[in-house]
Amino acid sequence: MSESQTELRPLAPAASEGAQATRPLNEKAFYLEEFYGKGLLFALIPPAGQRLSELDSLARTLRELVRNQTRCILIAAEDVLPRVLRRMGRLAPRQPPPIFDPTRGLRTRPYPPDSAVTQIWRMLRAGRIAVAGARTTDAEDLTVFAQELASRLDVFKLVLLDRQGGLTEPDGRRDSFVQIRQIGGLARRERSKLRRVILRAARRALEDGVNSVNLTAPRSVYEELFSFVGTGTLFTKAAYGSVKSIALEDFEEAEAMIKRGQNEGLLLTRTDEEIDRLLPSCFGYRVADEHLAGICSLLTEPYHRERAGELTALYTLTRFQGEGVGAELVREVLKEARARKLRYVFACTSEEHAARFFKRLKFRKVGPADVPAAKWRDYNRERIKRLSIFRVDLNTPARVR
């Protein structure tokens, strides 16, 4: 959404990355910061890895992560290891990759055994990347082994690389996010045995303490891990974010996010000074206590006499659109407005999509006279005619769905 001064546009898919002249909020940097110093385990699920071309994205991903001082572990079927190592080039560990047998010790604990963990640690200590083979071509066996190893190592993220990519709904829509409580239902309706195994492995990894699991195609793993759009499915244990007012240390990130929204055409252009005035009143939707995925400002200072607030600068990163982030931001902003004992909150938009958004959240359409006169000071009169103005009164609790 966006505003002219404080006028809102709808949350909508961003323009393609190649079409953007500038990217004030760098996607890769956003995620590299999250992955810094942590451990990621990648598993090539057979037959993935048999084609050299499908390893390009993986090699590029590993190169970025190793430069970022992220510890990377790659598990692949023994028969594809030569292709994997050839594609990795100088990035590949110098020592020969260990070969593990997923069927040995499966019913014993600890599993995988201490010896396997020791071999992986020695490679990571030498070069921050470990490559190992599994003595199997069975996709289910390798998936289970990778999950067990991820759980044993307590890695930050498990990345399952399957040619089919992420999960999709019957109508073809991609499931970008899945919480652990949803996995059982998805598994029951899934026809593919391998996919059921993958879903159970994702659930077990999350239950064992792995922070998140990604399921994507090897060809698109770079975009899955380093873009706001994503290409696969991200599994998390709980809701993937929470809302609270941003801290001073978040101002630079929030400013970059607003400017990104302006470049995407979702936020109308503001001067740096105008953005600065919004930052102190910004709330952020933070993913896994790491990064902002959405922001919204509750502007009250110009309207203190009326005890009113303006909801403005509502923007969500592309991957998080359609996931209820906008509604969650509005819900928390209204909660804060009640805590400040405001009489009402209003928002303005010139877009039908945004108008439907506010109607769905139980805002009622009003006229210019129903919001503070200060809103219209030095405001273009012709633009006012094109606006839809929405207001929610706060004398009774409002329900946001």
d(CA 111, CA 119): 14
Q: Where are the domains of the chain?
A: 7-11+241-393, 21-231
Q: How far is CA 315 from CA 10, 223, 225, 284, 384, in A?
A: 9, 21, 21, 10, 22
Domain 21-231 coded CATH 3.40.1160.10: yes
Is residue 71 within a helix (H) or strand (E), and if so which, with residue range? strand 71-77
* Token pair belonging to 76: 């692949």
Q: What is the pTM of this model?
A: 0.72
Q: Looking at the DSSP assignment, which residues form a beta bridge with residue 311?
A: 298
Per-residue tens of pLDDT for the chain, all 401 residues: 434 334 554 443 333 333 333 344 567 887 888 899 999 999 999 999 999 899 999 999 999 999 999 999 999 999 999 999 999 999 999 889 999 999 888 778 889 989 999 999 999 999 899 999 999 999 999 999 999 999 999 999 999 999 999 999 888 888 888 889 999 999 999 999 999 999 999 999 999 999 999 999 999 999 999 987 789 999 988 766 788 888 898 898 899 888 888 887 777 678 899 899 999 999 998 876 567 888 999 999 999 999 999 999 888 876 666 667 888 899 999 999 999 999 999 998 877 888 888 999 999 999 999 999 999 988 888 888 888 999 999 975 545 44
89 class by beta-carbon count within 10 Å (0-12 exposed, 13-18 middle, 19+ buried)? exposed
- DSSP 3-state assignment of 263? helix
Please give the CATH number for the structural domain made up of 7-11+241-393.
3.40.630.30
d(CA 315, CA 244): 15
- DSSP line for 197-258: HHHHHHHHHHHTT-SEEEEE-GGGHHHHHH-SS-SSEEEESS-SEEEEEPPGGGHHHHHHHH
d(CA 388, CA 365): 7
Query: CB of 232 within 8 A of CB of 165?
Result: yes
Is residue 181 within a helix (H) or strand (E), and if so which, with residue range? helix 180-189
d(CA 58, CA 238): 28
Residue 18: CB atoms within 10 Å: 5
d(CA 274, CA 338): 25
Residue 166: CB atoms within 10 Å: 22
- DSSP 3-state assignment of 32? helix
